[in-house]
Structure 1
Amino acid sequence: MRLTRLLVYPLLFSSALLVARPAQGQWSIAPSVALGTAIPAGAFGRDVAESVTLKGALWLRAPRVPVGLTLEGMYAQFRDVRPNMSSESTHLGAVIANVTTRRHERKLELYGVAGAGWYWRDGPTDSFAERQAPGINVGVGEIIALGSRDFFVELRLHAVRTPARTGEQWLTFMPLVIGARF
């Protein structure tokens, strides 16, 4: 049941983003999808290996404004590397709101991104007592404009503040994704 909720919320959010219609007026809204790998870090990195990650987002921006917003749904699956848990996986889902520093007016453009969200976790990583928690993220990306589509490469650090049996801890991982904006 937890796995179903972990998968359903981010995927429903991502699906809604993909079928969203562009807004009229000053703001432009563009859906995007991305696929890549997520590299665990810190204490979380001792228990799990790299994963596959999938992200769906809405990029919102106004003309001549150097900052924009993104609303995202993300899913990652980490394989457990502990000897007695070799067949188990940790699933992580998130809904995230970010501020981005980009204008998208050139063929190649570097941008920064930072934000906060709500993260859900399901799996055998027993050092974390709670299944959901707030988190933050910060990262950089590069947009490559080709015709009517924008492609991007992005690297972020996600840190989730999660209660653990030994006190508060940060669950950290770094997704590296390649995607397209429509």
Structure 2
Amino acid sequence: MARRLAPEEKALWKKVAATVEPIAKRPLPLEPKAPPTVKPPKPTPRSTATVAAPRAPAPLPPPRRTWAGSTLDGHWDRRLRKGLVRPDMSIDLHGHSLASAQALLDDAIGRALIRGARVLLVVAGRLRPGADRLPLMHGDPRPRGAIRASLPEWLSISPYADRIVALRPAHISHGGGGAVYVILRRPRED
């Protein structure tokens, strides 16, 4: 609902309106024609088939863990950055397909946990600068560095995800940008 103008607002509006020059007269637009009447489609006879009951919604996948917020104490992080931590085990995923690399990674994490390892070095290679602009060779649909890029997702859906504490870039002496440390939780002794 519009409000009414106060007397001083009316006076001010009249002054403003007096300063306005009208635009050259233009022909008024034609009124739009009434839309043609559309007849609704004739109903088609329905089949006598019974309608299937709606399916129950699929269960949601487990929440994915992100490694950006994973924290280690400052002592661990400093030692990892300086290259003072020696990996207990390592695995090299170069030359593997994405599926085989994921299976090997899960297998290596399982073996590391059995051995009581704390740091697993995963060498996966890195995306070379400009590699995403290179033509695909031999029909390979993935860019170079796809294994390295997939590691955080694989670790978040791994059967051992609850035993993985953090994911950190490796020191240059252990492979630099082409490798990562997977920090594993040690089992608690009762």
Query: Which category of TM-score, normalised to the shorter sequence, fits these structures?
Result: under 0.3
TM-score of the pair, normalised by structure 1 = 0.24
More helix by share: 2
More strand by share: 1
TM-score of the pair, normalised by structure 2 = 0.23
Structure with larger Rg: 2
